[in-house]
Structure 1
């Protein structure tokens, strides 16, 4: 069955066999904690008048999804105790789902006002487990595919499950919260996660690849065991230092300051340590990868299997990318770091903006953002796919970067009263349709942002898919798409402080200017000629097989 199956036909296909039905449920299981932790949680905090600076710091829990490839070798090879008899994949899924259910219940029982540190700690652990579940599902989806339930079909069904989860954890959660309160919402979502364990138990367990387990490096060229270990130590220390720095500041920022002491500034932290974090997590591993290319051996000697698995997952894919792109890797990585910054950096503040600053109700935001907005995102993705197939990769990338930056100006206009939006609505007679003018303004702004986000997202997924080589497609895709979250997530805490200090409109103007950096890098990459060169074959489909999506409320 073709991966082009969509809509009701896709849902019918999902119900057509055990594998596809389970994939739909597990796609829902993947998407539900993501939307509850990255978007909906901020609506709860905003309703309680938690400061935007605190919301910005707390949004760093989303980095768990960016860093998940770091522990993927452990998840891929080890089995959790007591559950090992369920199989390599199902044991991890059951552990993650049951733990997520318990953590959602604990979040429901914790007061974010009086115990923000405990609340944040629970959210961090939940994000870590949610990201781990995604690692397992990405592997399981590939391993159980066959001629009927193809990887492409399973990936499309996985995305469909994610969309159902976004509606449940977004729109439905807002509607329920308006009537019962947020603790009841998170208690109910915890029950839903527990119910999804049944889908995991019904899932077929994939056969283990004995040869790959015995020879993790296979025929890949690599340095000798001593140098492999040294490369892993250097990369591990860089990532460890970055995570420790972020975690330490997060704990400090969420702890009450000592009497007479000044609260730590997220803006100061971002300016001082943000560049160093990028160096430790991006530049240093790239330099190590370049060094390993110089000292590699065509037939490397085997070392310790666990270390070799880690090397294959964390260093080899980047080494291949640097070796193939040479100096062009600098432009590619820079473009990946900033391309989605416009929408990713302000995502945690969307619900506080709609609900608290603009004064819309939960029901209004649920309809405009999560129901109507989803349709606009689909329209944007379809537009991106059409442009990608007719105009090509780089023109679509450029259009996505420009529209993503311009969409921030819509929100700046909305924040100052919506004069520009009113003029647009007046020209097209949108106020004559009998819909409340305030809702029209919100829907126009969300339409622009979601169409731009869908277009940019489709272009970006296609671009990363074209960069990844077939030999390392899954890991390179995960690595490159993870970088997408890094810069935007680092800037969120500082952005929360900036909004409290100068207001939403100036910040939206600033994020629009940030988007011009992505526009400039697209032009440079286009000029560099990488898009016109024959692209390496990739097993990742640009529109349906993407496990990554810019965080949205």
Structure 2
């Protein structure tokens, strides 16, 4: 005869993330956590996620310019990166859908992961097959495919990371993931440019050199494929069964929903492009009425974005009402994950969402003008490359390590607060550097401090987002959080150059530091109400 069923643990308080079950008894055990198989594996998967990022736009833009493509067209390709910001739209399909053959062979997460990595490789080989000087449209198609495949890989890796280890290891997993991500970016950024230079046969444009660069990057993606094939499928967690399971849609329902997403995206793009002249005239009218030009432009662009989002939402709603997608499937796919988050967070949901939207605001807005700032301060290309790539990468890895260890030993919220302080404070160093043009020693110190604080804050923030995510809706909720994390900072960063031209570098960097002050209040508020580890022991 069995005993009585155990009483379920009470739910965490609003604003709280899942707490690690215990404090490691020693520093040796803390450091040994970095060698745990799930943690070490994230270095390889992080590399696989970081590798395609610059190949979508940064490295590709250099290839396009050498091919003679005009600057306006090159910069338009930056819109392909929107796939990373709107990946939450198809994340639910990954939570619920199954990949024929691959899911049965590898499991749900690894099946999607291998499919997305195969799509990244295919997109890289596609791009390598065309010379943008003569077949620009096909090159652009390759960039779009690469962006969506890479964003999909990010969705799956984030879900895998959260499900593959207990909450106690999430800070370490985050630190190792960030380290791998940055190494992947270094390979596809500086590594690709170095390889292209080495393969060039003369001083003129050589399309075959660039083609072999992209083929080489496709081969390097084998690192991620091998990590996927050797990794175990995450075991189901008990909390995944804590509520009613979402009902998976049929293949036909998922296909129709994907069609709604594509058509809604088309409505967004068409509206965004169509209202551009109206936005420009609106900004001019506001300026004529006495509004500051920067504020007028910002209000006009914000209105343009809002109108475009409303048009996409209206198109999606109309298509659902017309029966193109199942209302039940839409409810299970999008509304259930949101309802789950709101039910768990209660009245703290607004605070948590505000924290997510603004935590990286200070350093993202500053980073948008950093490289141009280095050039304007008189530093050479060699100095910028050495300090930002070599020293910057080392500082980021060290910061991620400190953030992971600190979050495990002290709890997530103290390190999250410290990261916010350091990220804002390091911007003041850039303001000081603006008064010391050509000072390479101060440049080195500034870059090391900025990357160290960014690595620490990044590891703690990823751990926080992971802890807020329900394993019942891992892919959807984390994709939504990560999209919200970049939306406002990237939107404001686009106006950084105009602000610098208006006020100068010094005041601009001081202003970006001030942007970090409200974040401190949000972190303290979330931690005081119930965030993890505001005390010293989680």
* Equivalent in the alignment of 2:339: 316
Counterparts in 2 of 1:243 and 1:355: CA distance versus 1, 3 Å: farther
Question: Shift in Å at residue 22 of structure 1?
Answer: 5.6
Counterparts in 2 of 1:505 and 1:123: CA distance versus 1, 3 Å: farther
366-375 or 306-315, which deviates more: 306-315
Matches within 5 A, 1:358-369: 360-361=380-381, 365-369=384-388
Aligned length: 460
Name structure 1 gaps, 5 residues minimum: 221-232, 254-265, 286-302, 414-418, 426-436, 543-553
Give the Cα separation in 2 of the matches to 1:517 and 1:485.
Answer: 15
> Helix, strand or coil for the counterpart of 2:221?
helix
Counterparts in 2 of 1:452 and 1:332: CA distance versus 1, 3 Å: same
Counterparts in 2 of 1:56 and 1:81: CA distance versus 1, 3 Å: same
Are 2:517 and 1:519 aligned?
yes
**Contact preservation (8 Å) 2:401, 2:456:** yes
Question: Shift in Å at residue 340 of structure 1?
Answer: 1.8
Question: Shift in Å at residue 457 of structure 1?
Answer: 3.0
> Helix, strand or coil for the counterpart of 1:420?
coil
Are 2:531 and 1:535 aligned?
yes
**Contact preservation (8 Å) 1:96, 1:130:** yes
Give the Cα separation in 1 of the matches to 2:41 and 2:509.
Answer: 40
Give the Cα separation in 2 of the matches to 1:53 and 1:399.
Answer: 38
Question: Shift in Å at residue 95 of structure 1?
Answer: 2.3
Are 2:436 and 1:420 aligned?
yes
Choose from 128, 132, 137 the match for 2:148.
Answer: 128
Q: In the TM superposition, what whole-angstrom CA distance separates every residue of 1:115-145 from its partner, at most 9, and x where no partner exists?
A: 6665444323212111211222233345555
Are 2:420 and 1:392 aligned?
no
Give the Cα separation in 2 of the matches to 1:474 and 1:95.
Answer: 16
Are 2:105 and 1:86 aligned?
yes
Give the Cα separation in 2 of the matches to 1:462 and 1:142.
Answer: 9
Name structure 2 gaps, 5 residues minimum: 1-22, 201-208, 247-256, 277-293, 314-325
* Equivalent in the alignment of 2:395: 376
Give the Cα separation in 2 of the matches to 1:55 and 1:5.
Answer: 50
* Equivalent in the alignment of 2:188: 169
**Contact preservation (8 Å) 2:113, 2:153:** yes
> Helix, strand or coil for the counterpart of 1:402?
helix
Give the Cα separation in 1 of the matches to 2:131 and 2:482.
Answer: 34
Are 2:419 and 1:403 aligned?
no
Question: Shift in Å at residue 74 of structure 1?
Answer: 0.7
> Helix, strand or coil for the counterpart of 2:528?
coil
* Equivalent in the alignment of 1:230: none
**Contact preservation (8 Å) 1:402, 1:516:** yes
Matches within 5 A, 1:48-447: 57-81=76-100, 83=102, 85-87=104-106, 88-110=108-130, 118-145=138-165, 157-180=176-199, 183=210, 184-194=212-222, 196-206=224-234, 218=244, 244-246=267-269, 249=272, 271-275=299-303, 277=305, 306-307=329-330, 309-311=332-334, 314-320=337-343, 323-325=346-348, 329-345=349-365, 347=367, 360-361=380-381, 365-381=384-400, 389=410, 392=414, 396=418, 398-409=420-431, 413=434, 419-420=435-436, 440=441, 442-447=443-448
Cα RMSD, aligned residues only:
5.4
TM-score (norm 1): 0.63
**Contact preservation (8 Å) 1:378, 1:454:** yes
Question: Shift in Å at residue 453 of structure 1?
Answer: 2.4
* Equivalent in the alignment of 1:482: 483
TM-score (norm 2): 0.64
Question: Shift in Å at residue 12 of structure 1?
Answer: 5.8
Counterparts in 2 of 1:336 and 1:89: CA distance versus 1, 3 Å: closer
Counterparts in 2 of 1:510 and 1:65: CA distance versus 1, 3 Å: same
Give the Cα separation in 1 of the matches to 2:532 and 2:35.
Answer: 34
Give the Cα separation in 2 of the matches to 1:450 and 1:168.
Answer: 18
Q: In the TM superposition, what whole-angstrom CA distance separates every residue of 1:173-212 from its partner, at most 9, and x where no partner exists?
A: 3432343367143221012225643443344445679997
Counterparts in 2 of 1:533 and 1:280: CA distance versus 1, 3 Å: farther
Give the Cα separation in 2 of the matches to 1:353 and 1:41.
Answer: 23
Counterparts in 2 of 1:371 and 1:335: CA distance versus 1, 3 Å: same
